[in-house]
A and B are shown apart, each in its own frame.
Chain A
Amino acid sequence: MSPVSPRRLKALCVKEARQILRDPSSGIIAFVLPLMLLVIFGYGINLDASRIRLGLSIEDGGQAAASFAAQLTGSTYFEVFPGSRPELDAMLEEGRIRGYAVLARDFSRLLEEGRDTAPIQIVTDGAEPNTASLIEAFMRNAWQDWRQARARDLGQDTAQGADIRVRYWFNPAAVSRHYLIPGSITIIMTVIGAMLTSLVVAREWERGTMEALLASPVTRTELLLSKLLPYYVLGMISMAVVALAAVHFMGVPFRGSVPALVVVTSVFLLSMLGVGLLISSVMRNQFDSAQTTLNAAFLPAVMLSGAFFVIASMPAPLRALTYLLPPRYLVTSLQTIFLAGDVWEVLVPDILFMTGTSVLFLTLAALKTARRLDE
């Protein structure tokens, strides 16, 4: 550690703050981009797959077919488009519906005969296997529900098998947005922490101002702190903005405490600021820094942090890799703080791990922070 002069550190921080306030791009990265990402991730990515556009061809004129069709039409899972098979084929090809169901000519007859198999044909777009299997599952449920209701109506014995009821803890309505938003916030913080710092430091190299600073009495520690402190503050402010937006506008619960949020955000930000400083100290130009940050920080945060994709179902080598990624710990911490509360059994290990990554990346950044141009 080299000595720190409070005057020089303050001067550098003031300079940095002025630049942040004046440069529209910092404001955009710190406030506009996060809110945009929040909306995109919050509403755009939706694993709940509600209202699938489904075609329906009723070829049986019986009362049973009409009743089942009504059940489908009334379902919140489907938006139903009636039509003939050729019409629906055409719509499927054009992508206007995701699949269609056919209630064949013998639908009512087979039911009357008390067969157990459902005489329903489902045609789906195999190019989207996810949607295809969702449609299948929803149709099975709808069929099951309809048969039970019909049996009750007919006064038949309804005690067929077990009645399974799922109860989602911490997220009773099973709204996927509630656990996606903590993930989104993680990605936003990654972008702010790593991208913003790596760009501003690289810009100093590109514009030659770094050279002027290095030729002045500034020490390595002052240089490092003058980049860490302002962007730490900026990151905390934007966390506050994003968290408020998530809770107040997107209806995400907040069951933990603010101090817990401050602590996990702090250790996470320090890690990512370290990553950003490390990258820009090595690259020294904005284009390479942006590319590297995208690949080394942003993409892993999206794909390997557990924000959207479940870590438990990843192959073992990738799963091992995720332990090195600070975003992984922030995702579970934020999910806990927002949805469950201050569960220290979860938060403490996360905080310890992120403290470890902070020390690791900041040390590397400090070692790579040049005091000379040929270092």
Chain B
Amino acid sequence: MEAATLSGLTKTFKGLAAPALSDVSGTVRSGVVTGVAGPDGAGKTTLMRLMAGLLRPDGGSLSVLGRDPSTQAGNLRLRVGYMPQKFGLYEDLSVLENLTLHADLRNVTGDARRETFARLLSFTDLAPFTTRLAGKLSGGMKQKLGLACALLGTPELLLLDEPGVGVDPISRRELWRMVRELAGQGIAVVWSTSYLDEAEACDEVLLLNQGRLLFAGRPADLTGRMRGRCLHLGGVAGRRRRALSALLRRPEVTDGVIQGANLRIVLKENAARPDPAAAGIEGRPEWKEVAPRFEDAFIDLLGGGPGGESALANAANPRPDSRESLIVAEDLTKMFGDFAATDRVSFAVRQGEIFGLLGPNGAGKSTTFKMMCGLLTPTSGRAEVMGIDLRRSPSRARQRLGYMAQKFSLYGKLTVRRNLEFFSGVYGLSRSAARRAVESMIDSFHLQPFLDAVTEDLSLGYKQRIALACACMHEPDILFLDEPTSGVDPVTRREFWNHINGLVEKGVTIMVTTHFMDEAEYCDRIGLVHHGRLIALAPPDDLKAAAASTALPDPTMEDAFIELINRQEAS
């Protein structure tokens, strides 16, 4: 049964030139999980809000449970459950008080309320925490409470806006289990996400990009189109990054990433496998066909990957190979009150290495990161960059490193050119060096057409590119990148990794945080962060091998992470 029908939906917001949604059609069926997938700015939240009756469309028609949400919202509010981003909870109310409020608002009273509460509390495992304030719950528990609130009044349509954000992988799996159960009871579940692995797990998916619908249907139908085109190249000797870059230059190849020791290559339609030797790849390279992923299909729909060149890296001067430990953390701890955001973390990063910190939001990655760039003072422990103690002379260390903050750190009201000029000045470049640096960044990132645009009007992908340009302006030997690819589309993510790979080839040392499990595969070594602790530190392949079992011989990075967390908690 169809729970929602969208036809030609269009929505434009005042003051924005591009429509948030443009001519989107599709269906949401009862009893299945429908994914609304796409990068930031794709129009996911707008679509969810239209279905929840919180926005009125400009064009097209929308029917939810047989009614028009813009004129018959009153009737629908009891039948549609909606969990907004950030869960919509009152943080200063307890678990039970939040539930009671929503129960009262949805006319769930008396025996029905007692029954529903008991059922939801056991369903979400929140029964032991009914008196705890919602603000004091972990990300995963908040999400479950948000879900429980949206489930009061037994909705026929359940709208979940980015429920996977800010939640550790174990809680995310649990949520999937719960959502599957609800779909099994006949509820139509809509799950919006920017994670393509989540989209792949949905029964049906509406794939959006920049307000347009790219695909509607079963994810397997989309990935099926890519069958035979996705390959692993194993046995590569020497530098994998150089090999990847060489393959991406081949006309047969549309996309490629590093996956641990292997290269993962996607071919153009009907293209033959390129000869590794012809691309100058050493060792005993061997092709093996692998299952396509949703992301491969998405990139194919967007017209293929960005190639393997990085103008930024090409313009960079090579650094001498020293293989010394340039970044050292020793028993690094940061307390906020009695909460340890970073708990006795130790690692060392060698020159010319990509070191990744992997973990869900709130695990303590950014806190650790900020201590390493001298932005936060550690409560105890040692943080050193190029032998400079960050407690003693953070500014001297900062001269040698580039930092790209997690949140957009440019001046939104300034034009792109002014932002570039400002950051070249901040790093104290001489006038002529500053001019050269700005020009080189404009060339490397193809910013010429946007120079006079106001920065805040640009898409997230371009903002992130400019932020990276600003961080590289003074040719730092070390780059700190805090979630550089969060929320951007997969093609832009590829482009970012091209730059990162290229810079490392030039001898730049890179420390990066990410909560994309697959991105961790680009790193030489990764540290898994969970509840402020570094629970594992090894090359990605070793981590996956450590988690392999007979039941799961070829685990993904996420499988490995979950396995390692479980082992940690068991010990």
List chain A positions with a Cβ less than 8 A from chain B. Answer: 5, 7-8, 10-12, 14-15, 18-19, 22-23, 207-209, 211-218, 371-374
Chain A residues lying within 8 Å of B85, measured Cβ to Cβ, are: 208
Chain A residues, CB < 8 A from B149: 212
Given contacts A19-B92, A216-B105, A373-B55, 9 further A-B contacts (CB under 8 A): A7-B109, A10-B104, A15-B90, A207-B88, A207-B91, A209-B88, A211-B49, A212-B149, A216-B106
Tell me, rounded to whole Å, the shortest Cβ–Cβ distance linking B98 to chain A. 9
Q: Is B23 an interface residue (CB 8 A)?
A: no
Task: Say yes or no: B86 contacts A372, CB within 8 Å.
Answer: no
For the complex of A and B, 6 pairs with smallest distance between CB atoms: A212-B88, A11-B104, A215-B82, A211-B84, A217-B77, A216-B105
Question: B56, A372: Cβ atoms under 8 Å?
Answer: yes
B397 to chain A, nearest CB (A): 33
- Check: B459 CB closer than 8 A to any chain A CB: no
Query: Least Cβ distance of A28 to chain B in Å?
Result: 15
Closest chain-A Cβ to B65's Cβ sits at a distance in Å of 14
Contact between chains at A215 and B97 (CB < 8 Å): no
Q: Pick the contact of B55 from A7, A11, A15, A374 — CB < 8 Å? A: A374
A214 vs B84: C-alpha distance in the bound complex, in angstroms?
11
Residue B54 is within 8 A (CB to CB) of chain A in the complex = yes
B58 CB → nearest A CB, Å:
10
Q: For the complex, what is the distance from the CA of A208 to the CA of B13, rounded to whole Å?
A: 19
Residues in A neighbouring B84, C-beta threshold 8 A: 208, 211-212, 215
Contacting A374 at CB < 8 Å: which of B13, B90, B104, B106?
B13
Q: Determine if B128 is an interface residue (Cβ-Cβ < 8 Å).
A: no
Asked whether, in the complex, the Cβ of A208 is within 8 Å of the Cβ of B87, the reply is: yes
Question: Contact: A215 with B101, CB < 8 Å?
Answer: no
Whole-angstrom distance between the Cβ of A204 and the nearest chain B Cβ: 9
List the B residue with the shortest CB-CB distance to A375: B56
Residues of B within 8 A of A15 (CB): 90, 93, 97, 101
Partner of B53, one of A11, A18, A22, A372: A372
Q: Is the CB of B55 within 8 A of A19?
A: no
Contact of A11 with B105 in the complex, beta carbons under 8 Å: yes
Taking beta carbons and an 8 Å cutoff, which residues of B are in contact with A? 13, 49, 52-56, 73-74, 77-78, 80, 82-93, 97, 100-102, 104-107, 109, 149
User: How near does chain B come to A327, taking the closest CB pair, in angstroms?
Assistant: 31
For B54, give its contact among A8, A11, A211 (CB under 8 Å).
A211
19 residue pairs of the A-B complex, CB under 8 angstroms, read A7-B107, A7-B109, A8-B105, A12-B101, A15-B93, A18-B93, A22-B93, A207-B91, A209-B89, A209-B90, A211-B88, A215-B54, A215-B84, A217-B78, A217-B105, A217-B106, A371-B73, A372-B55, A374-B56
CB contacts (< 8 Å) of A208 on chain B: these are: 84-88
Query: Within the complex, what minimum Cβ distance (angstroms) separates B148 from chain A?
Result: 12
Taking a contact as CB atoms under 8 Å apart, the answer to whether A22 and B92 are in contact is yes
Write out the residue numbers on chain A whose beta carbons fall within 8 Å of the beta carbon of B54.
Answer: 211, 214-215, 372-373
Quick check: A207 and B86 within 8 Å, CB to CB?
yes
Complex: A373 Cα to B45 Cα, angstroms: 12
Once the chains are docked, how many angstroms separate the CA of A211 from the CA of B74? 15
Query: How distant is A221 from chain B, measured CB to nearest CB, in Å?
Result: 13
A374 to B16, CA, bound (A): 13
How far, in Å, is A25 (CB) from chain B's closest CB? 10
Q: How far is the CA of A115 from the CA of B105 in the complex (A)?
A: 88
User: Across the two chains, which residue of chain B brings its CB closest to A8?
Assistant: B105
Are A217 and B87 in contact (CB-based, < 8 A)? no
* Docked pose: A18 CA to B134 CA in angstroms: 13
CA distance A78 to B90 in the complex (A): 58
Taken together as a complex, chains A and B put the C-alpha atoms of A293 and B78 apart, in Å, by 36
Complex Cα distance A372/B90, Å? 20
Contacts of B82 in A (CB 8 A): 211-212, 215
Compute how far the CA of A218 lies from the CA of B55 in the bound complex, rounded to whole angstroms: 16
A217 CA / B73 CA spacing, docked (Å):
9
Nearest to B97 among chain A residues (CB) is A18
Q: CA of A7 to CA of B54 in the docked complex: distance in angstroms?
A: 23
Give the docked Cα–Cα distance between A23 and B78 (Å).
30
CA distance A12 to B149 in the complex (A): 15
Tell me whether A216 and B102 are in contact (CB under 8 A). yes
* B90 partner residues in chain A, CB cutoff 8 A: 15, 19, 209
Residues of B within 8 A of A217 (CB): 74, 77-78, 105-107
| List of A residues within 8 angstroms of B53 by Cβ | 215, 372
Nearest chain-B residue to A217 (Cβ)?
B77
Task: Give Cα distance in the complex from A205 to B104, angstroms.
Answer: 21
Bound: A216/B56 CA distance, A: 16
Point out the residues of chain A lying under 8 angstroms from B93, CB to CB. Answer: 15, 18-19, 22
Q: Are A215 and B86 in contact (CB under 8 A)?
A: no
Q: Which residues of A contact B89 (CB under 8 A)?
A: 209, 212
**B residues near A23, Cβ cutoff 8 Å:** 92
Smallest beta-carbon distance A362→chain B, Å: 23
Q: Given A7-B109, A19-B92, do A215 and B55 touch, yes or no (CB 8 Å)?
A: no
- How many angstroms from the CA of A23 to the CA of B73 in the assembled complex? 33
Closest to A219 in B: B74
| Cα–Cα distance between A12 and B100 once the two chains are bound (Å) | 10
